[in-house]
């Protein structure tokens, strides 16, 4: 007869001293998250207060709340974080990435401005970009896209693969080895084919998307939030993200902006002044390379635009 209250007291004590569990954030929508634990189960989690700087890919410490929920108490130190900043507000793309898959296409035409900025964002935090020129089954628009791409990336482009999301077998054969054992983020404007690529590579992604959307109360068919998927057979992790229309880089220091343009690096050694900004200084190695055509004009113009924007932002 006395056993029942005693066991209840024990249970109460165990709940009063909750242990922290670690997991990885696999979806983010507002201040609602899905966190996957080491045993493969997932919990809906939230943060207390106004804190919303948790990104998909973050390692977090959570305190369980009941059977299926949890509170994010801490974010583990990040290897890297990819984000953009538009008018004082940051949008976190994802954390702890091994590579960035930038998806472009000829139809609708991709934006060189947005691709250029995404490349700068990746290089500035040392994340390797790979360009996926999708819809290669459309030869005319693909040829146009290749010319457009070459004007931006010049003589030393990032690894670029022409793919078609419609050919799932070919995709798995060619992309599989690049994705295995790595965490990759699919990034690009809407309409480029990110979700179609994801569905070709992760056959049950459609189902996973629905589960996530329902769990996050985000509506069934929205693609408004970032999600991490596991490729089959431990083939790596793939993160799908919503499209974007701006890619502000106001959070980058002038040094980071320079680091965002690897085509400049070799020429900076030739600059006469140690604090050369590569815009108007005499004896600038980057401007000399620009005049020779070694540094693409489109890149230098983008560099100047980003610096001007960041200088203007700092004045307010």
- Would you tell me which residues interact with Mg ion (CB under 5 A)? 194-195, 223
Q: Which of Zn ion, ligand GDP, Mg ion, none sits in contact with 286, Cβ below 5 to 8 A by type?
A: Zn ion
Binding residues for GTP: 134-137, 188-196
The answer to whether 78 and 58 are in contact (CB under 8 A) is yes
**Which range touches ligand GDP (CB under 6 A), out of 80-88, 158-166, 203-211, 288-296?**
158-166
Residue 194 Cβ, how far from Mg ion at the closest point, in Å?
Answer: 5
Please identify, using beta-carbon distances, which residue of 247 and 264 lies nearer to Mg ion. Answer: 247
Residue 165 Cβ, how far from ligand GDP at the closest point, in Å?
Answer: 3
Closest Cα to residue 123, out of 280, 252, 287?
Answer: 252
Partners of residue 184 on adjacent β-strands:
99, 238
Q: How far apart are CA 74 and CA 69, in angstroms?
A: 16
Per rule CB under 6 A, is residue 116 in the interface with ligand GDP? Answer: no
Q: Which of ligand GDP, Mg ion, Zn ion, none sits in contact with 188, Cβ below 5 to 8 A by type?
A: ligand GDP
Q: Among 109, 191, 256, 288, indicate the residue that binds ligand GDP (CB under 6 A).
A: 191
**Which range touches ligand GDP (CB under 6 A), out of 43-51, 189-197, 209-217, 272-280?**
189-197
- The verdict on whether omega for the bond into residue 56 sits within 30 degrees of 0, i.e. cis, is no
Per rule CB under 5 A, is residue 263 in the interface with Zn ion? Answer: no
Per rule CB under 6 A, is residue 29 in the interface with ligand GDP? Answer: no
Binding residues for Zn(2+): 271, 276, 278, 284
Per rule CB under 5 A, is residue 284 in the interface with Zn ion? Answer: yes
Q: How far apart are CA 305 and CA 302, in angstroms?
A: 5
What H or E segment, with its residue span, contains residue 182?
Answer: none
* The two structure tokens encoding residue 30: 């507002």
The answer to whether 194 and 241 are in contact (CB under 8 A) is yes
The set of long-range contacts for 301-304, using a CB threshold of 8 Å and a minimum separation of 24, is 302/113, 302/116, 302/117, 302/120, 303/257, 303/258, 303/261, 303/264, 303/278, 304/279
Per rule CB under 6 A, is residue 164 in the interface with ligand GDP? Answer: yes
Q: Which of Mg ion, Zn ion, ligand GDP, none sits in contact with 156, Cβ below 5 to 8 A by type?
A: none
The answer to whether 237 and 247 are in contact (CB under 8 A) is no
Q: Among 7, 15, 22, 190, indicate the residue that binds ligand GDP (CB under 6 A).
A: 190
> In b/e form, how buried is each residue of 46-68, taking b as 16+ CB within 10 angstroms?
bbeeeeeebbbbbbbbbbbeeee
Q: Which of Zn ion, ligand GDP, Mg ion, none sits in contact with 134, Cβ below 5 to 8 A by type?
A: ligand GDP
**Which range touches Zn ion (CB under 5 A), out of 33-41, 182-190, 263-271, 305-313?**
263-271
What sign has the CA pseudo-torsion 171, 175, 181, 187? negative
Residue numbers of the site for ligand GDP (CB under 6 A)? 134-135, 137-138, 164-166, 188, 190-196, 243
């Amino acid at each position: 007869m006395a056993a029942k209250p005693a066991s209840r007291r024990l249970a109460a004590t165990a709940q009063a001293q909750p242990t922290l569990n670690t997991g990885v954030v696999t979806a983010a929508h507002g201040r609602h998250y899905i966190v996957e634990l080491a045993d493969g189960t997932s919990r809906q989690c939230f943060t207390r207060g106004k804190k919303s700087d948790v990104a998909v890919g973050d390692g977090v410490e959570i305190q369980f709340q009941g059977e299926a929920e949890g509170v994010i108490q801490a974010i583990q130190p990040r290897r890297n974080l990819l984000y953009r900043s538009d008018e004082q507000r940051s949008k976190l793309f994802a954390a702890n990435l091994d590579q960035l898959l930038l998806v472009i296409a000829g139809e609708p035409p991709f934006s060189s401005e947005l691709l250029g900025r995404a490349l700068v964002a990746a290089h500035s935090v040392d994340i390797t970009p790979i360009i996926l020129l999708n819809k290669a089954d459309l030869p005319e628009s693909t040829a146009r896209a290749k010319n457009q791409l070459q004007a931006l990336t010049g003589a030393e482009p990032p690894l670029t693969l022409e793919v078609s999301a419609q050919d799932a077998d070919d995709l798995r054969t060619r992309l599989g080895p690049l994705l295995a054992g790595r965490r990759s983020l699919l990034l690009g404007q809407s309409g480029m084919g990110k979700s179609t690529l994801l569905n070709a590579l992760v056959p049950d992604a459609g189902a996973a998307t629905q589960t996530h959307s329902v769990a996050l109360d985000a509506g069934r068919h929205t693609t408004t939030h970032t999600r991490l998927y596991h490729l089959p057979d431990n083939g790596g992790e793939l993160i799908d993200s919503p499209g974007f229309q701006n890619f502000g880089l106001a959070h980058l220091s002038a040094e980071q902006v320079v680091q965002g343009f690897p085509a400049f690096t070799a020429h900076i050694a030739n600059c006469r002044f140690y604090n050369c900004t590569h815009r108007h200084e005499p004896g600038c190695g980057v401007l000399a390379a620009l005049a020779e055509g070694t540094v693409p004009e489109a890149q230098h113009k983008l560099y100047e635009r980003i610096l001007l924007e960041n200088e203007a932002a700092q004045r307010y």
